[in-house]
Chain A
Amino acid sequence: MTKRQGLLRHIFLAALVCALGFAGTVQAAEGEGLPSAGTNLRDQASLQRGARLFFNYCVGCHSLKYVRYSRVGEDLGLTEDEVMKNLNFTGAKYGETVVSSMPADLAQTWFGKDPPDLSLEVSAKGADWVNAYLNSFYLDPNSPIGWNNTVLPNAAMPFPLWELQGLQTLTVAPGENGKPGEQKLELGQPGKMTPAQFQQATRDLTNFLEYASEPAALQRHQYGIWVLLFLAFFTLLAYALKREYWKDVHEA
């Protein structure tokens, strides 16, 4: 190969690397500006705490229509008794899916829309978004429900976790050239939890919803490493086989 060919090949490879890096920056930019939720599906205690929060504060309005109680028990290391006593308040059977007992027609009257099913919320919006949303409610006297949210302005949901977090208010710094300035949420009246405890609680809840979005993620992580190790071994074996066979070609 001549020097010039080598140079062209290098330019070509450099261009390819740039393009891949380009795609990488965009991936990093997704969920922009939101702090990381810091969820961890391997933390079973966190999933259990998240489930408890969900079934105490959320299931009154929101269903998880693709999630079965039995599956939650199995995946979160809970017995049937524990699930039926501590998580199932709707009277559903153990093998049934999580359906809120809120009547749809009343939901329309109360909130103007049906509370969405949350089975796939994290898949659709991302864990960072859900976690930030849960931390961003504030009192808003101008809103018909008395609450508002900085992540999802004019959200239809009144804040269900207020007694845990306390009451936040929004201050908007005076901006320049008519643009609104920086928004800041301040905790006016503290709740039952300290801010650190509440952040952990929303992280747990988000973690549980992330699990609910894709229960298979637990299996994926469990089996993945073994599959990769097997395939690495297979590839190595295939390579050894190839070398052995190709001795003929080199002799020929």
Chain B
Amino acid sequence: MANVWSNVGNWVTERAPGMMPMYRKHMTEYYAPKNFNLWYYFGSLALVVLINQIITGIFLTMNYNPSAAGAFDSVQYIMRDVEWGWLIRYMHSTGASLFFVVVFLHMFRGIIYGSFKRPRELVWLLGMLIFLVLMAEAFMGYVLPWGNMSFWGAKVIISLFGTIPVIGTHLVEWIMGDFLPADATLNRFFALHVIALPIVLLLLVVLHLAALHEVGSNNPDGVDVKHGPKGNRWSPLAPADGIPFHPYYTVKDLVGVGFLLLIAAFIIFFAPTLGGWFLEHDNSIMANNLVTPEQIKPVWYFSPFYAIVRMVPSFMDTAVWGVIAMFASIFVLFAMPWLDSTPVKSIRYRGRGYKIALTVFVLAFLGLCAVGTDTTAEVIPAWFGSDVDVTFWENLFGRLMTLLYFGFFVFLWAYTHFGWETTKPVPDRVTTHD
């Protein structure tokens, strides 16, 4: 048997001599620092979720009907009459939310360990593009079940473009192909969600990984293992602190995958709606342009950005500022490599000001989540009595959080640009590993 396999191997190698070297370059001879910690699981987990979304998505497509008249019924058909359809759909809907959980943590990892810094700026930029496409992909996927929250969510989000002066109204009609989200909208969103954006997403993921493998992985110490001493038990030329990605990190990532699947399975089998956070109650009612849901709010993963739209007040007779601020809150992340100019990468060796600012940034992000999901609108009267002016306090809180969110980037630029940061000495080699 072994002979048969090596014969097949030789047959392929004769005809495509570049295959094995490519495999080695990216797997068995890709030397990753040996000190990856918990934060380094989320990249491979994002890939696992992406594969889950594609596979379950294919099966959903087989039974989904992309029309305003049939979409809602076809989702129920999948839930009830298609063999294992409920499992496929819950894997897809839970996967969508977990995708964002994993990607947010992956991005946060990049920030705390300075993975976006020279020479990995391109890796970061490609990753940010992935995030942007992922948001578009998720938004369009959310519209497809054609529930009432799908409809009104789509209407609100698309109408954000209507605030753009002069072309706004036309742009909104152009996006929807109608005056309301309708059959035409659903059809094009289906095409984009199922074909166009996944292709772009996959291409970007390949580029993201290719760009990473050109420069090598960062690590929790922010030490470049490529510049350290050479020679390990696998190769005299490889970095001393590097280990082959395969099998060492493939088996390690398998443990992470196990944990992710445990959490995902718990949600899928025992709480698929997660109390309305992953699948909203109002989406059990078919899209109806005459009945507005009590509260129109985006799914949780858009909430911090949506909160910024709501919190920025209109002035000069236009609400476009909120929309600009929302896009700015995402695009400012693209600029991270140039905003944070301290050469020290890892939070372990950075100044106290950086750590405090980062904590404030995380709290601002979570605070904006609370505003965007209407959590504050429920908590404020519950905690401070029903007599308080909820709108006033929510706006005050939300605007403070918006200022702190953007303030982080301003502070970070000044703090690192003017050399106010006192960093600690960075070791020559990676420190701890398990």
Contacts and interface: CB of A to CB of B under 8 A. Distances in A.
DSSP class of B's interface residues: helix, strand, loop or mixed?
A: helix
Contact of B269 (A4, A12, A120, A228): A228
B261 interface: yes
B272 interface: yes
B383 to A, nearest CB: 9
Interface in B232-288: 232-233, 243, 247-248, 251-252, 254-255, 257-259, 261-262, 265-266, 268-270, 272-273, 275-277, 281-282, 284-285
A125 B281 CA distance: 7
A13 B373 CA distance: 22
A124 to B, nearest CB: 4
B270 A248 contact: no
Contacts of B266: 224, 228
B362 A12 contact: yes
Nearest to B232: A252
Contact of B366 (A19, A29, A66, A213): A19
A151 to B, nearest CB: 15
Contacts of A214: 79, 86
Contacts of B276: 27, 30
Interface in A26-56: 26-27, 29-30
Nearest to A245: B251
A29 B251 contact: no
Contact size range, B: 35 or more
A30 B275 contact: yes
A223 B86 CA distance: 13
Contacts of B257: 238
Contacts of B272: 220
A245 B379 contact: no
A231 B258 contact: yes
A187 interface: no
A234 interface: yes
A249 interface: yes
Nearest to A12: B359
12 contacts: A8-B355, A8-B359, A66-B73, A123-B273, A124-B284, A228-B262, A235-B262, A236-B258, A249-B433, A251-B233, A252-B232, A252-B243
